[in-house]
Amino acid sequence: MIHPLADVQTRHIGPGTNIWQFCVVLQGARIGADCNLCAHVLVENDVLVGDRVTIKSGVQLWDGVTVEDDVFIGPNVTFTNDLVPRSKRYPESFARTVIHKGASIGANATIVAGHSIGAHALIGAGSVVTKNIPPNTVWYGNPAVQKGFVTNDGILLDMNKQDKNGTTYTLD
């Protein structure tokens, strides 16, 4: 379903994907199946979005961003793609940013260009990510620092890989 008030220029949209009002999706973008792009999302040309991805309102995916399957991107998450931006001066290529399978990014986080967020990692609301984030880790703050671990099923663990009941987990 593409809302009639959305501007969707690409033909590369998987089945079951919803694109809501006031979204702009440029011609070169590729959007997978069963995704949900909430109102006011912008997707540039050199962007790949996998299957079952949720992108909440106010997110812009700039050239160079790849979002793998089953990712959650909270409202107003900010991605950058140019490490030295200047008005009317563009790099030969934009920095690549990859959000790996099953990762979640909380509202208003900022992801600095050229970094990856590992599979199933969790980035807390308002965090500023300035480095690569390993899989199954929890990060928050400005700059974001590791505060724990998270299982593929979303169980939060402390730095000793224990849940709130004291059960220790082994992560893949």
Find how far residue 90's CA is from the centre of its chain: 23
pLDDT of 21 over the 80 cut: yes
Residues 6+ apart with CB under 8 A from 6: 19, 20, 21, 22, 23, 24, 25
pLDDT in tens, 87-111: 999 888 999 999 999 999 999 999 9
Q: 34: which 2 tokens? A: 């069963």
Radius of gyration of the chain, Cα coordinates, nearest whole angstrom: 16
pLDDT band at 172 (very low <50, low <70, confident <90, very high): confident
pTM for the structure as a whole: 0.95
Mean pLDDT along residues 11-33: 98
Q: Is residue 86 part of a domain?
A: no
Q: Is residue 127 part of a domain?
A: yes
Question: Position of tokens 């009317």?
Answer: 88
Domain count, the chain: 1
Residues 6+ apart with CB under 8 A from 86: none
Q: Is residue 54 part of a domain?
A: yes
pLDDT in tens, 105-133: 999 999 999 999 999 999 999 999 999 99
pLDDT of 84 over the 80 cut: yes
Q: Is residue 66 part of a domain?
A: yes
For the four alpha carbons of 13, 15, 20 and 21, in that order, the dihedral sign comes to positive
Contact 65, 82 (CB under 8 A): no
Give the pLDDT of residue 155: 97
Q: Is residue 11 part of a domain?
A: yes
pLDDT in tens, 33-65: 999 999 999 999 999 999 999 999 999 999 999
Q: Is residue 164 part of a domain?
A: yes
Domain enclosing residue 118, as ranges: 1-81+91-172
Give the pLDDT of residue 90: 87
CATH assignment of the domain containing 26: 2.160.10.10
What percentage of the chain has pLDDT greater than the value 70?
100
